[in-house]
A = this chain, B = another copy of it.
Amino acid sequence: MKKIGILTSGGDAPGMNACIRAAVRAALANNLEILGIQWGFDGLIRREIMPLNRRAVANIIYLGGTILGTARSAEFMTSKGRQKAIKSLKEAEIEGLILIGGDGTFRGGTQLAEECDVGIIGVPGTIDNDVYGTDYTIGFDTAINTALEAIDRIRDTAIAFNRLFLVEVMGRHSGFIALESGLAGGAEDLLIPEAPHSMDELCRHLTKNFKQGKRSAIVVVAEAEQPGRSFRIAQEIKDRIGIESRVCILGHIQRGGTPTARDRILASKLGAAAVTALLNGKSGYMVGEINGNVAYTPLRDTWEKKKELHPELRELAKLLSD
């Protein structure tokens, strides 16, 4: 193997740059050339490709976002789009390709691995943590700390005003961010997709607290398909038990920012591991971290299998918030 490529795809996540840096340095240390493909699969189709060297990745370890740019490619989802992408890979003489992204990226990657003989290795980079085959994804730790900082700020005003707040965090299909930021933020309640929200229980809890004089509370809500479900929940709470609440939707601030130590270390480890995997002839796998060690999972499993919330953390959140 002489030349490999790397791209970031889907939602950006803090730590992607640390991962690119590690892959570039590991590639160079192994005498591989490495090309950066811009704007995800779209850029691959359009051949927006640039060489990467040590200098190109100097001092990017602390930057949020991704120096390669990212996109969600509709064209790559088509067979014709992928054919163009494969042609680009061939012409650039790329023998191995590292994909940093989440489940959407790995769906595309699974198909790509089946349709061409370029080595394909995925690295889990998404703030949502909803990728099977790794304890944590790159970006998750930063996202929960960002959410947590916001919850801490809102706590100040919730106490000062003796008022109920609904804080909506990211996580459409999974409650990882809500659970961990809520637990760490000392939230009084959580509404997560895994526990289809029992309005009865929430209202009972709030009513009980109110009777005891505790009027300030923070409920962390995982967003649904579209941001904004908290407004409906606020209305329902008011209709049912007459308690007013304020809504905060954290949105895209959870994606950005300088990555935490943990995200940079995870990203560095997996970026280097992806190069090693390619050198070892692996293809169609994601490199993740399980129990502190690098683990390989077939790309198809990463999005077909469902990663579960840790049941112990859910019980802990209940125990401590009650």
Inter-chain contact A160/B261, CB cutoff 8 Å: no
How many interface residues does chain A have, given as a range?
Answer: 35 or more
Across-interface contacts of A135 in B (CB, < 8 A)? 292
Proximity string of chain A (306-320) to chain B, C-beta cutoff 8 Å, 1 when within and 0 when not: 000010110010011
Across-interface contacts of A268 in B (CB, < 8 A)? 183-184, 316, 320
Inter-chain contact A22/B148, CB cutoff 8 Å: no
- A112 an interface residue at 8 Å Cβ cutoff? no
Across-interface contacts of A319 in B (CB, < 8 A)? 25-26, 29, 272
Q: Among the listed B71, B261, B272, which residue makes an inter-chain contact with A148, where contact means beta carbons less than 8 Å apart?
A: B261
A64 to B162, CA, bound (A): 14
Residues of chain A in range 263-307 having any CB-CB distance to chain B below 8 Å: 264-265, 268-269, 272, 291-292
Apart from A135-B292, A260-B260: 19 A-B pairs, beta carbons within 8 A: A14-B156, A29-B322, A39-B162, A59-B186, A61-B186, A65-B160, A69-B160, A141-B261, A154-B252, A154-B253, A156-B255, A183-B268, A184-B261, A184-B264, A247-B251, A249-B251, A250-B253, A272-B316, A272-B319
